[in-house]
Amino acid sequence: MTKSEIEQWLREDDEERLALLWSRADGIRKERVGEEVHLRGLIEMSNHCARACGYCGLRAENRKIGRYRMSTEEVLACAKRAVLLGYGTVVIQAGEDDAITLEGMSDIIRSIKSSTSLAITLSLGERSEEEFRAWREAGADRYLLRFETSNRALFHHIHPPRRNQGPADRIEILHRLGAIGYEVGSGVLIGVPSQTYSDLAEDVCTFRELDLDMIGVGPYIPHPDTPLFAEVPDWGRAGPDQAHNTELMAYKMVALTRIACPDTNIPSTSALATLNKAQGRELGLMRGANVCMPNLTPVQYRAMYEIYPGKACINETAEQCSVCLAGRIHSIGRVVGKGRGDSANWHRRRDEAEG
């Protein structure tokens, strides 16, 4: 699919034609990654953040949220719960929190690895090369870092540099993570103010070029306590090129991503479930996605990890999330994945490297 074909699909509104897109994406999903839906237990370890991202409620300047950081014991308890619930992976996510140190995080990773057979995915923001290497050596398997948008000017506008640092280059970091041996995941926001359909089409082309193992795409959900909120257009009057942050646009991006990157693992994201609590997860899974990320964060912290408002599943316990998701997966005729659910793409790359 060329960039202009991708852009045409993003502008397509005819339901019958879109049904063709959904069925093509679902067919490729079935053929390439199968019927299993892999569950990744999400541990939101800390909401402290040193950055000032224009879109995210965890930004340092937001004084309206209470801050928390889980202890090592609390993280390990979440990992144990993941094992009991039958998950193959935990995703440890946080703001860019300098109190999460090279040594402290390495200890957590080693403890989980020595007591469970879980795969570990980290999503801790832009960290040093030394930290990336140490955490991989300690046993972390995967790293998630969304490049958020391939439009460089827009990225720097919504993702200003940290104090005393130059502008971030997340694409460069993704290459380094791959070279260190991680399974590499990335993704983008959909419908950021002044993001165009052409930008989104370029995002899908960038996914393909980066040969990613995991790709998460989700609607941008405006947070009132962030600067970007003031830029959100009156959608009815937005220009013809402004990409909309709708549920439909998110499904189109999931489907196009599956078609462009057939072997990659694609989650049906929580942001999508937030826009459509009744059916968002299922529709994502039926239009290209093959992964879900049930929340394992202790209930007392969940509401504080408010990257965007109205987040789905903030009052449920880990057990309730697990039962709910399994039910949703079965209701659409799919099965809950067993084992770690590694990326087929990563295995292929490693086999090629080993000759």
In the complex, minimum distance from the CB of residue 146 to ligand SAH, in angstroms, rounded to a whole number: 4
In the complex, minimum distance from the CB of residue 316 to ligand SAH, in angstroms, rounded to a whole number: 20
How far apart are alpha carbons 221 and 271 in whole angstroms? Answer: 8
User: Is 267 a residue that touches ligand SAH (CB under 6 A)?
Assistant: no
Q: Which residues pair with 138 in a beta bridge?
A: none
How far apart are alpha carbons 355 and 349 in whole angstroms? Answer: 10
Instruction: Compare residues 56 and 120 and give the one whose CB is closer to ligand SAH.
Output: 56
User: Is 96 a residue that touches ligand SAH (CB under 6 A)?
Assistant: yes
In the complex, minimum distance from the CB of residue 107 to ligand SAH, in angstroms, rounded to a whole number: 21
User: Is 275 a residue that touches ligand SAH (CB under 6 A)?
Assistant: no
In the complex, minimum distance from the CB of residue 297 to ligand SAH, in angstroms, rounded to a whole number: 13
In the complex, minimum distance from the CB of residue 309 to ligand SAH, in angstroms, rounded to a whole number: 8
Residues 199-228 that bind ligand SAH (CB under 6 A): 218, 220-221, 223
Single out the residue of 106, 123, 149, 196 in contact with ligand SAH (rule: CB under 6 A): 123
In the complex, minimum distance from the CB of residue 299 to ligand SAH, in angstroms, rounded to a whole number: 19
Q: How many residues bind ligand SAH (CB under 6 A)?
A: 18
Please give the C-alpha separations between residue 71 and each of 99, 100, 141, 252, in angstroms, as whole numbers: 11, 10, 22, 39
Single out the residue of 271, 285, 291, 293 in contact with ligand SAH (rule: CB under 6 A): 271
**Best CA proximity match to 78, nearest among 299, 308, 312, 340:** 299
In the complex, minimum distance from the CB of residue 342 to ligand SAH, in angstroms, rounded to a whole number: 21
Selected range binding ligand SAH among 18-26, 27-35, 143-151, 199-207, rule: CB under 6 A? 143-151
Single out the residue of 56, 82, 154, 204 in contact with ligand SAH (rule: CB under 6 A): 56
Residues 176-195 that bind ligand SAH (CB under 6 A): 189
In the complex, minimum distance from the CB of residue 199 to ligand SAH, in angstroms, rounded to a whole number: 15
Instruction: Compare residues 28 and 291 and give the one whose CB is closer to ligand SAH.
Output: 291
Single out the residue of 22, 197, 207, 308 in contact with ligand SAH (rule: CB under 6 A): 308
Single out the residue of 10, 43, 134, 145 in contact with ligand SAH (rule: CB under 6 A): 145
In the complex, minimum distance from the CB of residue 4 to ligand SAH, in angstroms, rounded to a whole number: 26
Q: What is the 3-state secondary structure (H, E, C) of the chain?
A: CCHHHHHHHHHCCCHHHHHHHHHHHHHHHHHHHCCEEEEEEEEEEECCCCCCCCCCCCCCCCCCCCCCECCHHHHHHHHHHHHHCCCCEEEEEECCCCCCCHHHHHHHHHHHHHHCCCEEEEECCCCCHHHHHHHHHHCCCEEECCCECCCHHHHHHHCCCCCCCCCCCHHHHHHHHHHHCCEEEEEEEECCCCCEHHHHHHHHHHHHHHCCCEEEEEECCCCCCCHHHHHCCCHHHCCCCECCCCHHHHHHHHHHHHHHCCCCECECCHHHHHHCCCCHHHHHHHCCCCEECCECCCHHHHCCCCCCCCCCCCCCCHHHHHHHHHHHHHHCCCEECCCCCCCHHHHHHHHHHHC
Residues 73-92 that bind ligand SAH (CB under 6 A): none
Which residues of the shown chain bind ligand SAH in the complex (CB under 6 A)? 55-56, 93, 95-96, 123, 125, 145-146, 148, 189, 218, 220-221, 223, 271, 307-308
